[in-house]
Structure 1
Amino acid sequence: MSIKQRKREKQRQSTRELIGIDEITDFSTKTPYGELVYFIIHPTNISVLSDENIGARIYALMTVLKGIAEIEMLCLNSKENFEDNKQYLKRRMEMEQNPVIRKLLQQDSTNLDRMQVQMATAREFLIIIRLKDEKESNVFPYLSRIEKNLKDQGFVARRADNADIKRFLGVYYEQNVTTERYEDYDGERWVIFND
């Protein structure tokens, strides 16, 4: 295949094909390397815990990790990153001659700092289970056991649904944390059925 043909073929690929996802189901993503099921773990603020409690949390996580061979973990910064904007404002303040404009730029920078502090705890932790050649009748009991194991160890966890999967794919690939609902197809919200 020539370079032009490969380039045309790549342009025709859908977003899912480009990132290696065959299908997004109600509870997983299907890839050429297996089906991925996600569990969302709500973080614990360890800054307010004693050393003993932190040790207990670490031991609980270690117990979960030892009990599941196919486990993978992912941490998402589900917040907006303002560093580029703050650097831009800093450069503009250094260049700006007008003191009024410089003061406005400083206020903008302070506002960005305030927003970033408010969103500092917006992290998501995911436990990912890669299903390979599992019988369909065994999948849901297996996933329920994993969810129960997480909860038994004191983690606040739930299995991600279709909307959750689309949301954290949007965060992971696009750093998009502001979209409320992701569409299956571009412009889907504008299509009116049965009209």
Structure 2
Amino acid sequence: MNREKKRAKKEADRRLSTRQFIGAKEVTDYSLVTYEHGELVYFIVKPTNISVLSETSIGARIYALMTVLKGVAEIEMLCLNSRESFEDNKRFLRTRVKEEENPVVRKLLEKDQTHLDRIQVQMATAREFLIMIRLKDEKESDIFPYLSRIEKSLKEQSFSVKRAGKEDIKRILAVYYEQNVTTEKFEDFDGERWIIPEI
């Protein structure tokens, strides 16, 4: 009986669309509508290179963030890679180097690993900081003034911020779910680029 339930669940999961599978109902011009977590609005915060700031300046940045958090209790924060992660590839190469008996192949694997290390160092600062707001019972007419107030609050504290649009949200999802940083324009539906409208 238990095996039948597992098989039925596996079959149901297989039939889910990509959107259903990741829990995304719709990507609007300003938000991600989910099945379980409601409507999510993202603000992209450009990171500050704190390695060049003085201790006083870092303290001021922390205080500015604390001020924003006190003023808008609904804020949630996310930190994502905005570029590909090569950790799985590097782990695989390390394992292969240990297992490989042929010294020529082992040397090639080591060169591949060094190359990935070099790429990762170049992208070390490739982080994306997101501030997320969950829209709950806001009226349609109240949403944009509410979001503008949050954006203004962040800018007043000297954060370089912009509200994520539809293409930004699709790019964030693509990097998060498939590590895709090379596509420039993301489709709303699989195969959309192949549809030729009737003339």
Displacement after TM superposition at 1:134 (Å) = 0.6
- State the distance in 1 between where 2:102 and 2:17 align: 49
- State the distance in 2 between where 1:5 and 1:98 align: 46
1:15 aligns with 18
- State the distance in 2 between where 1:128 and 1:162 align: 15
| 1:43 paired residue among 31, 47, 56 | 47
Displacement after TM superposition at 1:149 (Å) = 0.9
Q: Cα 1:21–1:105, aligned 2, differ >3 Å: closer, same or farther?
A: closer
2:148 aligns with 144
Deviations along 1:108-155, one digit per CA (max 9) or x if unpaired, are: 222111100001111001101111111111111111111111111011
Deviations along 1:3-47, one digit per CA (max 9) or x if unpaired, are: 365554443332222222221101101224321110000111111
Displacement after TM superposition at 1:60 (Å) = 0.5
- State the distance in 1 between where 2:136 and 2:94 align: 50
- State the distance in 2 between where 1:98 and 1:179 align: 37
- State the distance in 1 between where 2:10 and 2:162 align: 41
Q: Cα 1:8–1:89, aligned 2, differ >3 Å: closer, same or farther?
A: closer
Q: Give secondary structure in 1 for the equivalent of 2:91.
A: helix
When normalised by structure 1's length, the TM-score is: 0.89
1:173 aligns with 177
Aligned length in residues: 194
Deviations along 1:69-111, one digit per CA (max 9) or x if unpaired, are: 2111111012222223223333333444544433333322221
**Residues 113-192 of structure 1 aligned to structure 2 (within 5 Å):** 113-192=117-196
**Residues 56-135 of structure 1 aligned to structure 2 (within 5 Å):** 56-135=60-139
Displacement after TM superposition at 1:162 (Å) = 0.6
Q: Cα 1:8–1:159, aligned 2, differ >3 Å: closer, same or farther?
A: same
Q: Give secondary structure in 1 for the equivalent of 2:24.
A: coil
Q: Give secondary structure in 1 for the equivalent of 2:47.
A: coil
Displacement after TM superposition at 1:189 (Å) = 1.1
Flag structure 1 segments of 5+ consecutive residues without an equivalent.
none
C-alpha RMSD over aligned residues: 2.1
Q: Give secondary structure in 2 for the equivalent of 1:61.
A: helix
Q: Give secondary structure in 2 for the equivalent of 1:73.
A: strand
Flag structure 2 segments of 5+ consecutive residues without an equivalent.
none
Displacement after TM superposition at 1:184 (Å) = 1.3
Bigger drift between 11-20 and 51-60 goes to 11-20
Q: Give secondary structure in 2 for the equivalent of 1:113.
A: helix
